[in-house]
Amino acid sequence: MNQAEFEQKRAALVRDAPIPRIWMLGKTGSGKTSIIRHLTGATAAEIGNGFKPQTKFSRQYDFPDDDVPLVQFLDTRGLGEAGYDPRADLEAFQDGTHLLIVTVRLTDQATDVLTSPLAKVRKANPNRPILLAITCLHDAYVHDQNELQHPTPDPFDVLTHEDFRRPSLSPPLEQKLSEVTTPNFTRLLNEKFKKFEGLFDYWTAIDLTKPEEGFDEADFGGDRLKSAIIDLLPEAYRQAILQIEDLNQLLTEAQTARVAPVIMAHCLLAASAAVVPVPWVDIPLVLGIQSRLAYKLAEINGQKLDAQTISRVSALLGSRIAVRMGIRGTLKFIPWVGSAVNSAATFAITYASGWAWNWYFMKISQGHVPTAEELKEVYAQQLKRGESLWKRSKENESS
């Protein structure tokens, strides 16, 4: 497969792969960027610089980048502005987005500029799930000795999954909220439910703040938000969000935070390529994705990937991959079994290869040339971790 053929196949794979596309609809300052930051771990600056225009009033953010994205966010701007017409966004996004998240501040009274275009969005595609995210809850909290904090324990924890599907507050929750906040707080919640009646499938209440704002819990309701998104996304598109959950556990240092999303995105893309139910046809594409990942990691680590390095490291990892590829090729002859096993194995192999390459580049930058035994040990450790991640995310997906 030459470079042009690979690029063509890779672009088609990205287009058809189960990459969730989440449409964000809300006014400026309603928490859209905070939600993206919370889900991805990216900084506000990275998100702001990563957006690219799509239509006159919309833009798209690909995480971690547009080369091999893990998840895509579409942000509609212009709500409340004179001349905003949602028709272009409707035409661009009505068939290609899997979930619509509507963000509205709890104390926002002027919601007509949001409900009007939302009604058109709903009518254009009534089957696409809509999540109503009520944000900035602290705007309605009680001031106690000039200290403003979220209520503890979290009153929303008493709600069941079905409660969040009901467009109203249950009497017990309303009473509990009144005890820890104010009657005005529950009134504002009920007001939002009435304003958005018939325009959402699920609601959640969140308050995602910056550490410098002084709240004990900066991501209040963040877990509820993630659970709702996973629940509402079509099953095939949940994998990326579940993997980001595991991914965020790795973000303990700046360097890891940069490479982890890149590795995970390539893993899922390679796993998607391995679903092709024809023996061996995916191997050149998968190897191409893994090679692209190696070059990307070299760039992140400030290293050059020359022919000599490729030959040396590939000699250590390539034979192991080739053996597993051969095993996977035979599995494709088993109906209903091959594709699932192929995806799992390819994910784990790409994961192990990515982290092995990254470890290699880190050691080189520190002035140490890794031995064959060291590299094989790192690869083996990461292969086990990759297999575990895939298994755990699949278990969570089916639960």
Q: Are residues 263 and 213 in the same domain?
A: no
Q: Are residues 150 and 226 in the same domain?
A: yes
Q: What single-letter DSSP state applies at residue 156? A: G
More confident residue, 300 or 142: 300
Q: Are residues 284 and 358 in the same domain?
A: yes
Residue type, 4: A
Q: Are residues 63 and 178 in the same domain?
A: yes
Q: Is residue 1 part of a domain?
A: no
Q: What is the mean pLDDT of residues 221-237?
A: 90
Q: Is residue 51 part of a domain?
A: yes
Distance CA 6, CA 58 (A): 31
Query: Model confidence over 51-63: pLDDT tens digits?
Result: 888 877 788 999 9
Domain that holds residue 336: 239-398
Query: Model confidence over 334-368: pLDDT tens digits?
Result: 443 344 457 888 888 889 989 999 999 999 888 88
Choose one of 232, 266, 289: the last residue of a domain.
Answer: 232
Q: Are residues 54 and 153 in the same domain?
A: yes
Query: pLDDT category, 191, cuts 50, 70, 90?
Result: very high
Q: Are residues 245 and 155 in the same domain?
A: no
Q: Are residues 343 and 203 in the same domain?
A: no
Q: Is residue 9 part of a domain?
A: no
Q: Are residues 195 and 247 in the same domain?
A: no
Q: Is residue 357 part of a domain?
A: yes
Q: What is the largest CA-CA distance in the chain?
A: 70
Which CATH number is 120's domain given?
3.40.50.300
Q: Is residue 16 part of a domain?
A: no
Q: What single-letter DSSP state applies at residue 132? A: E
Q: Is residue 6 part of a domain?
A: no
Distance CA 138, CA 105 (A): 10
How many structural domains does the chain have?
2
Choose one of 214, 232, 250: the last residue of a domain.
Answer: 232
Q: Are residues 75 and 198 in the same domain?
A: yes
Q: Is residue 79 part of a domain?
A: yes
Query: Model confidence over 111-131: pLDDT tens digits?
Result: 988 898 899 889 888 999 999
Q: Are residues 99 and 173 in the same domain?
A: yes
DSSP-assigned beta bridge partners for residue 72: 21, 62
Distances (CA, A) of 62 to 20, 85, 265, 293, 349: 10, 24, 11, 17, 24
Q: Is the pLDDT of residue 98 over 70?
A: yes
Order of strands across the sheet with 58-63? 52-55, 58-63, 71-76, 21-26, 99-105, 130-135, 202-205
Distance CA 100, CA 200 (A): 9
**Quick check: helix, strand or coil at residue 233?**
coil
Q: Got the DSSP string for 198-264? A: TS-SEEEE-EE--GGG--S-TEETHHHHHHHHHHHS-GGGHHHHHHHHHHHTT-SSHHHHHHHHHHH
DSSP-assigned beta bridge partners for residue 76: 25, 58
Q: Are residues 42 and 135 in the same domain?
A: yes
Phi-psi region of 41 (alpha: psi -120 to 50; beta: other; left: phi over 0): left
Q: Are residues 250 and 209 in the same domain?
A: no
Q: Is residue 14 part of a domain?
A: no
pTM for this prediction: 0.82
